[in-house]
C-alpha cells in the first residue's frame, strides 16, 4: 500500500469548505487544471465523487458530509505539528527537569533557580541529582535534562555547552587556624596539611602543578570526592581545603578564605545539554534562567 499524500488533506478541506471547485482552487492558489487533477486524485483515493452536480451547483455526497468536520479539525492539527514551536505560557506548563550537578552548585544557585521557577513557571519542577562523573550518557539517554560542570575531553562531541561563570581556586580553613596568623606564603601553604578533591581518587591535580615551578609539594593527608566534603573536614580540623570560590560561596560561611599565594588557572563552569533539547522552548527558558541566576548570584 502506498503512503498517503497528506497534501490531499488541504485540497479536501478547501473543496468541502467552499463547496465550489473554482473557489477552492483560488483558496489553494491552484490553476483550474491543477485543481481538476487534485480533485481526480481525491476521488480516486477516497473512492467517492465527493461533490456531485445538482442543477447549476455542486452538493456534497454523504461521504463528503461525513468527512467535513473531521478534515476541518485534522488540517489545523497537521499545520500545528509542522509549524515552528512558539513560546508557551509558562504559567500553564507542567514539566519536570532533572539537573545533574554538584552539591555546591545546588547550595549556591539552587534557591534562586527554584524561586525563579516558582515565580515564572509554577508547574515546573526541578530535580537535582549528584554528578559522580563526567560521562555524557545521562544526557544522551534523556535521564538528565541539563548538567553543570567543567567541560572535559570525555564530554560527548554532540553535547551543546554554554559558559555560566569563571571561577578561581581559594584556600579555606577554620577560623583561628594557625596559617591565618601572618602572611600566607607559598611555602607556608604547601607545608600545611591538605585535603585533595578528586572524584576519581587522584591525590594530585592543578594545585600541585601550580606548586611545581616553586619546587614545593603539598602534604596531602586525605582525598575526598567533593568540595562540600572537603570543607566539612576543614571546618572541623586543621586541614586546608582548596576549592573554587564562587562554586562554594555558601559552603564557606563561617570559615576563613584566602587567596592562594601562587598563580593557578581559572576554571569555567558551563551547562551542558543534548541537541534534541536545544529547540525546546521550555528547556530554552530554563537555560536562560540558569545564565541569569549564575550571573547575579554572589
Give tens-digit pLDDT for 269-287. Answer: 999 999 989 989 999 999 9
- Quick count: other Cβ atoms within 10 Å of Cβ 181? 9
Domains and CATH numbers, the chain: 7-82 (1.10.10.10), 91-158+280-296 (3.40.190.10), 169-265 (3.40.190.10)
C-alpha cell at 266: 581559572
Q: How far apart are CA 217 and CA 190, in angstroms?
A: 6
Q: With CA atoms as reference, report the closest residue to 174 among 241, 260, 224.
A: 241
Model pLDDT, residue 84: 64
Q: With CA atoms as reference, report the closest residue to 169 among 187, 148, 144, 194.
A: 194
Q: How far apart are CA 14 and CA 25, in angstroms?
A: 8
C-alpha cell at 23: 473557489
C-alpha cell at 200: 576519581
Give tens-digit pLDDT for 126-169. Answer: 999 988 777 788 898 889 999 998 887 667 778 899 999 999 99
Residue 9 CA, chain-centre distance (Å), reads: 37
Percent of the chain exceeding pLDDT 90 equals: 51
- pLDDT exceeds 90 at position 79: no
Q: What are phi and psi of 219, to 5 degrees?
A: -95, 95
Q: How far apart are CA 162 and CA 165, in angstroms?
A: 10
DSSP three-state, residue 79: helix
Asked if 105 and 227 count as a contact pair (C-beta separation under 8 A), the reply is no
Model pLDDT, residue 113: 95
Q: How far apart are CA 282 and CA 96, in angstroms?
A: 11
Q: What are phi and psi of 57, to 5 degrees?
A: -115, -175
Q: How far apart are CA 214 and CA 191, in angstroms?
A: 13
Amino acid at each position: 500500500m502506498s503512503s498517503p499524500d497528506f497534501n490531499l488533506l488541504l485540497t479536501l478541506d478547501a473543496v468541502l469548505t467552499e463547496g465550489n471547485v473554482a473557489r477552492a482552487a483560488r483558496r489553494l492558489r491552484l490553476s483550474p487544471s491543477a485543481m481538476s487533477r487534485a480533485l481526480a486524485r481525491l476521488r480516486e483515493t477516497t473512492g467517492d465523487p465527493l461533490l456531485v452536480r445538482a442543477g447549476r451547483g455542486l452538493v456534497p455526497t454523504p461521504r463528503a458530509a461525513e468527512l467535513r468536520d473531521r478534515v476541518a479539525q485534522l488540517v489545523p492539527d497537521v499545520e500545528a505539528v509542522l509549524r515552528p514551536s512558539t513560546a508557551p505560557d509558562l504559567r500553564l506548563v507542567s514539566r519536570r527537569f532533572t539537573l545533574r550537578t554538584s552539591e555546591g552548585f545546588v547550595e549556591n544557585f539552587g534557591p534562586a533557580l527554584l524561586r525563579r521557577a516558582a515565580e515564572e513557571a509554577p508547574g515546573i519542577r526541578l530535580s537535582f541529582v549528584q554528578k559522580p562523573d563526567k560521562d555524557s550518557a545521562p544526557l544522551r539517554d534523556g535521564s538528565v535534562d541539563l548538567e553543570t560542570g567543567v567541560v572535559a575531553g570525555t564530554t560527548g562531541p554532540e553535547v551543546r555547552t554554554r559558559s555560566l561563570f569563571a571561577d578561581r581556586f581559594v584556600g579555606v580553613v577554620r577560623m583561628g587556624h594557625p596559617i591565618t596568623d601572618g602572611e600566607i606564603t607559598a611555602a607556608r601553604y604547601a607545608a600545611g596539611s591538605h585535603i585533595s578533591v578528586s572524584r576519581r581518587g587522584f591525590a594530585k591535580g592543578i594545585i600541585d602543578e601550580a606548586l611545581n615551578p616553586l619546587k614545593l609539594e603539598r602534604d596531602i593527608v586525605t582525598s575526598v570526592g567533593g568540595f562540600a566534603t572537603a570543607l566539612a573536614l576543614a571546618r572541623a580540623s586543621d586541614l586546608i581545603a582548596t576549592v573554587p570560590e564562587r562554586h562554594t560561596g555558601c559552603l564557606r560561611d563561617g570559615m576563613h578564605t584566602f587567596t592562594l599565594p601562587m598563580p593557578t588557572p581559572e576554571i569555567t563552569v558551563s551547562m551542558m545539554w543534548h541537541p534534541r533539547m536545544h529547540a525546546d522552548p521550555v528547556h530554552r527558558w530554563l537555560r536562560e534562567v540558569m545564565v541569569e541566576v549564575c550571573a547575579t548570584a554572589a
